[in-house]
Structure 1
């Protein structure tokens, strides 16, 4: 496959088609993604964060609340 030719063809697409292409590429990557190789400290930290989240559901902010706090 000639990547330069492919990239030139992609650039020639209209913006909506390019967005669809990116979405398809990301979906294909997600479908093939395997569990990352996490270290034990990383796993413990993720477990700690999940436990904290579950223990403090009353402190969770919605996306709208996050955006409002930024503004």
Structure 2
């Protein structure tokens, strides 16, 4: 079974069972080694960088990002 098939099957579960599955999957991420965390974050940063290179209009000026973040903290 591939990931899209697994996702489709998981989405057929009742809400409580989906929540339990999500909790189990999230807890499994806490068990990753520091090296695995680093690798996953590097992959995510690379993916986001490629996404921004492909469509620069999706980016936001840093000053806007920081302004919005400060507003949320108030």
TM bucket (normalised to shorter chain) is: 0.3 to 0.5
* TM-score under structure 2 length normalisation: 0.42
